[in-house]
Chain A
């Protein structure tokens, strides 16, 4: 057992406790709380007055699968077809990719990663720890959602560049519905076969059965509403990715009951559908009690700057507590992993970050990052 002490441990649990000791055994937290007498065989680690938070979580990023922002080194968008439901994040992630190192440097210990937004149906996302010797050792959730995209990206790639369908939002909606229509017409046995054979409709069946959500890239207000409309038509769970103009139609988003991952509002609006992008959206969603997480969308905002995406939301009116939760426990809740990650509580994975100052101070630097109780990053 290892005991970390002489630091301020911010648990980010319901009570938001600040604790004095963190006990770790077999990669898990066995005790966190006030200082108490410890077993003599325990190893003591003095953190020299540092500040400790849970490992940060980004549930919308392309870590491990998208390198520089140039398209020639991009394993995130399968451009051959606009409808590629069988693409799977795990077939494209390279665990030696530098973005994992950058994640650790920024205190990020869990990411949801996978296909980008060029295709109407892009493929399956996965949730991974950012450290661990093998890909399988890093996997938290192998199939965490079916990723699709509405709006400008499919229009631009297929309509504009390749001169083929879809050129319009009408065709995008039709392609999206098509998968669900065909899947829902199958009988029980046919569905089971599709799943067994990993056939084209498997992901749609999984979404229809509630095994994973539909994750739709939508920036513009009309795209957000189309995503909601289609999800309601098929009675499936939807997670709104980006949701950039969501603050313009906040009541409709609230009424839908769906949740969102917000960002990357730190990126300069580079296209029409993001021109109304603002970090103020986080405070607006908070005010309306719409659950949300904050993303980097790595590589667009590099993964090591996840913390700064949260601080920018504070600058635009979000409270510090919610800002921290939106990159820790609330992100974990939105992907149903709050029993394992997102806060420092007994029984949870020992994913934590040691900071030189309180996390949101300008001077705060990541000194160490731990995943499953192991130190994977230490500042020079």
Chain B
């Protein structure tokens, strides 16, 4: 057992940093019952739960390489497709993630295909995907609007309309209901207000079976409606890829926050980089969101949304010891990760041998 003392620890209940100690035994945070084998003095450091990226293609679309490492998109769809079968544990992006305090990601396939795949949540460590998986078949993913239309046109040389997208999506939802009855969460990539309205209609039609969640939500502020399931917002630090994203701006976070629409952060790595998840939070702070609420959304909020709050997302006895030590407040733009732990094991240290 190791006891970590004197650090400023983020408390997910009060959403504040308090000077306190915590213990890790094996993979878990443990109560302070026994005397620890080692003690680590974290005086002057900030400690947060590991950050969770709520939409990422890490491992699925390898960085530093083109098609050879890209398993984020398939031509034809199949309900059995699962991101678990496409994740490469040696993608160097995983090292990048942990060096920026991001310990887990919800893996969602590329926006290119209308019908995506079953999603999964993974830890950013280990050498086999089976060890990495925290939870699989978490949701089924879709992508509507420009991306779906242009991919369809590139392949079939004929246009696909929003009417066509709606038909395919409804049919697929019925198939999911029959073939994958355990999946009740549907995540849909969409930018334009018209597509977000369509998702609201789906929620009314299929609300007894599925919960629909918007990914991106660029034009959500154009809508009068303010009642949404948790939105996977952004990323806003990214290039404007097509016309539907012209309204993209960190002001998105201000609007969601102001209207109390629940949301979580993402990078959609490699669209933005997994290393910029904190930057999304910083941009939300710039737009007026309280630092403590940003930190909550990056940790416990994301874990709640993804249904893994009983496993990780907070520094609490009984949970997996996924935590990060920072040299200053993690939402300072120049904050550095000193060390990152996943399931109690140190997976990154800024300086070799950071133990004292």
Chain A interface residues toward B at CB < 8 A: 67-70, 98, 266-272, 274-276, 299-302, 305, 308, 311-312, 314-315, 320, 360-365
Inter-subunit contact B335/A69 (CB<8 Å): no
Check B239 against A299 for contact (C-beta < 8 Å). yes
Please determine whether A360 and B333 come into contact, CB atoms closer than 8 angstroms: yes
Among A268, A311, A365, contact of B273 (Cβ-Cβ < 8 Å): A268
Cβ of B256 under 8 Å from chain A:
no
Encode contact with A along B251-269: 1 for CB under 8 Å, 0 otherwise: 0000000000000000001
* B241 at the binding interface (Cβ < 8 Å): yes
Of A69, A274, A276, A311, which one neighbours B334 at CB under 8 angstroms? A311
By the criterion CB–CB under 8 Å, are B270 and A268 in contact?
Answer: yes
B317 in contact (CB, < 8 A): no
> Which among B270, B331, B336 is the interface contact of A270 at CB below 8 angstroms?
B270
Q: Are B66 and A271 interface neighbours, CB within 8 A?
A: yes
B334 touches A314 (CB 8 A): yes
Instruction: Report the stretch among B2-10, B34-42, B278-286 that lies at the interface.
Output: B278-286
Nearest 4 CB-CB pairings of A with B: A275-B64, A268-B270, A311-B333, A268-B273
Q: Are B64 and A271 in contact (CB under 8 A)?
A: yes
Q: Classify the interface of chain B: helix, strand, loop or mixed.
A: loop
A275-B65, A302-B240, A363-B285 given; A68·B245 CB < 8 A: yes
Residues 312-356 of chain B, each 1 if its beta carbon lies under 8 Å from chain A, else 0: 000000000000000000011111100000000000000000000
Residue of B nearest to A296 (CB): B239
The chain A residue with its CB closest to the CB of B267 is: A268
| Subset of 12 A-B contacts with CB under 8 Å | A68-B245, A69-B241, A266-B237, A268-B269, A270-B270, A275-B64, A311-B333, A314-B333, A320-B334, A362-B332, A364-B286, A365-B286
Number of B residues whose C-beta is below 8 Å from A? 33
Residue pair A308, B63 in contact (C-beta under 8 Å): no
Docked complex Cα distance between A315 and B279 (Å): 12
Residues of A close to B269: CB separation below 8 A: 268
Query: Do the beta carbons of B64 and A308 come within 8 Å of each other?
Result: no
Q: Please state if A308 and B242 are interface contacts (CB–CB under 8 Å).
A: no
Residue of A whose beta carbon sits closest to that of B331? A362
Whether B246 is near chain A, meaning CB under 8 Å from some CB there, is yes
Main secondary structure, interface of A, reads loop
Beta-carbon contact of A269 and B240 below 8 Å: no
B208 within 8 A of A: no
- In whole angstroms, what is the CA distance A363 to B294 when docked? 13
A266 vs B235: C-alpha distance in the bound complex, in angstroms? Answer: 14
B276 at the interface (CB under 8 A from A): yes
| B63 A299 Cβ-Cβ under 8 A | no
CA distance A365 to B240 in the complex (A): 21
With A314-B334, A362-B285 in contact, is A68–B65 under 8 Å at CB? Answer: no
Which residues of chain A have C-beta atoms less than 8 A from B245's C-beta?
68
Chain A residue numbers with a CB within 8 Å of B287 are 365
A368 to chain B, nearest CB (A): 16
A315 near B335 (CB under 8 angstroms)?
yes
Q: Which residues of B contact A361 (CB under 8 A)?
A: 332-333
The distance from the CB of B146 to the nearest CB of chain A, in whole angstroms, is 10
B243 at the interface (CB under 8 A from A): yes
User: How far is B237's CA from A314's CA once the two chains are assembled, in angstroms?
Assistant: 18
User: Which B residues touch A301, using CB under 8 A?
Assistant: 239
Q: A308-B333, A362-B282 are in contact. Are A269 and B64 (CB under 8 A)?
A: yes
Q: Is the beta-carbon distance between B273 and A68 smaller than 8 angstroms?
A: no
**A376 nearest CB across to chain B (Å):** 18
How far is B93's CA from A311's CA once the two chains are assembled, in angstroms? 21
Task: Assess whether A274 is in contact with B64, with CB atoms less than 8 Å apart.
Answer: yes
B272 interfacial by beta-carbon distance below 8 Å? yes
B270 contact set on A, CB distance < 8 A: 268-270
Chain B positions 66-83 with a Cβ under 8 Å from a chain A Cβ: 66
Proximity string of chain B (105-121) to chain A, C-beta cutoff 8 Å, 1 when within and 0 when not: 00000000000000000
